[in-house]
Structure 1
Amino acid sequence: MYESEEAWREVDAYFVDTLVPEDEALTDARESGRRTTMPQAEVAPNQGKLLAMLCRMSGATRVLEFGTLAGYSTVWLARAVGEKGHVTSLELEEHNAAIARANLEHAGVGERVDVLVGPAADSARRLIKDGVGPYDFVFIDADKPSNPAYLEASLALTRAGSVIVIDNVVRNGAVTDPDSPDDRVQGVRTVLADIARDARLEATALQTVGSKGWDGFTIVHRVS
């Protein structure tokens, strides 16, 4: 009876209405996602609040984000790190970055966020070369084939105790197919295998259903 995407959306709406009130800045940032190169690809409101809570619970004040789009998740993260914190967000398209910067200013957190434009792997390499870091919290939500490269960069930019969250790891269940021709699926499978064999990391992955359909995320704790 309740196993449908319509029911999943209704449940998400109930949770959001009850526990995750959005102010005007968050609502505007979410709705402006329609004007980006990937409309409606931002995290759901309850997922955004989860990211913010993970930041606060881990004591994170420095955050690295792979994938900005309209800056919806960036607003959540920037608010979570507080006035003395900082977020570096990596975005491929200048068009999206401009939308995000406007949303960040509207949310009152523009001064604590740098949006770097260009291929995220290149931007991350520049951060490594410049000796930036370490970051306390990393959110990976960009092109999925590059997930292994983003993890590798994240490990160069974090320390023991840092937390890494990787979004969109279920791929509507396709993640279980080792022969999938989809390079997004293979990117997820490779990064999960990389995590599993890295003794510095402990991790788990969770499936989710809701307004974003059937998906899930991986939470990684860097223990050494």
Structure 2
Amino acid sequence: MTDTNWTRLDAYYSEQLVKQDDALQAALDDSAAAGLPAIQVPPNQGKFLNLLARIHGAKRILEIGTLGGYSAIWLARALPADGKLVTLEFEPRHVEIAAANLRRAGVADKVEILQGDAAASLRRLIEQQAAPFDFIFIDADKPNNPLYLELALQLSRPGTVIVGDNVARQGEVGNAASADPAIQGIRRFIELMGDNPRLSATAVQTVGAKGYDGFALAIVEA
């Protein structure tokens, strides 16, 4: 199969199963118009995250990497009326776009965007003794994935679900000799998941509109 086949099939899934509404499409359009990189999850994977969070009954969600707020909308919509999403973003311009997209989607009251270095924001949450999160989505700068996992675990509880995006990267994550810091960051992230006795984890490869990639999925067991 080719990338054309993958993209066509993703479009079919999204048309038949996702039925993206105006607020989600506007979030994509405004992010593109503002020059944000087109690296957000595609619609079918956005709904996949939404369903995972709903299946888990998550009331507190942590997202590392907001970008334009597209995945944040999907995650916020998974929350109950008293739920909360905390999302971390480094770039001030991205925060501005995301905040507008979240307001238009009607979920801004459930979302807190923390602007700044993600590791520093995570450490502040730990210092503030923030309540543990039920669901954590890690989708930011890949060289720091191992650090994000380490800090996220300090904001977890038994039963917390952790999802990591982009863990295949055209299959290069399987190349131990890669000199790419992003590849090595993801490899260490995967290895830490596998070595940590608190976690039960797996990973799946995916293909679609964003090419060949994958998700890591873990649950905190202790």
Query: Quick one: which amino acid aligns to residue 169 of structure 1?
Result: V
Q: 1:196 aligns with which of 191, 194, 197?
A: 194
**Separation in 2, partners of 1:86, 1:196:** 29
Pair 65,37 (structure 1): closer, same or farther in 2 beyond 3 Å:
farther
Choose which of 215, 218, 221 in structure 2 pairs with 1:220.
Answer: 218
CA offsets 1:10-61 (integer angstroms, 9 cap, x no match): 0000000000011110111122232456421100000000101000101101
Q: 1:157 to 1:36 in 2, by over 3 A?
A: farther
CA contact (8 A) 1:20 1:45 kept: yes
Residue 181 of structure 1 is matched in structure 2 by 179
1:17 aligned residue? 15
Q: How does 1:101-140 map to 2 (within 5 A)?
A: 101-140=99-138
Aligned to 1:167: 165
How far is the alpha carbon of 1:78 from its aligned partner?
A: 0.4
Q: Is 1:76 aligned to 2:80, yes or no?
A: no
Number of the residue aligned with 1:65: 63
Q: Could you tell me how far 1:82 is from its partner in structure 2?
A: 2.4
Q: TM-score, normalised by structure 1?
A: 0.97
Normalized against structure 2, the TM-score is what? 0.98
Does structure 2 retain, via aligned residues, the 8 Å contact 1:63–1:87? yes
Percent sequence identity is 47
What CA distance in whole angstroms lies between the structure 1 residues aligned with 2:36 and 2:191?
A: 28
Aligned to 1:158: 156
Separation in structure 1 between the aligned mates of residue 107 and residue 3 of structure 2, nearest angstrom: 34
Could you say if the C-alpha distance between residues 36 and 89 of structure 1 is closer, same or farther in structure 2, counting changes exceeding 3 Å? Answer: farther
The residue that corresponds to 1:56 in the other structure is 54
SS of aligned partner of 2:159: strand
**Count of paired positions:** 222
CA distance in 1, matches of 2:205, 2:34: 26
- CA distance in 2 between partners of 1:74 and 1:117 (Å): 14
Other-structure match for 1:42 = 40
2-structure distance, mates of 1:166, 1:223: 17
Distance 1:202 1:44, change over 3 A: same
- Give runs of ≥4 in structure 1 deviating > 3 Å: 35-38
* Unmatched tracts of structure 1, length 5 or more: none
Q: In structure 2, list runs of 5 or more residues that go unmatched.
A: none
Deviations 1:169-202 (A, max 9, x none): 0011100111100000000000111111111101
Equivalent-residue separation in structure 2 for 1:5 and 1:147 (angstroms):
27
Root mean square deviation, CA, Å: 0.9
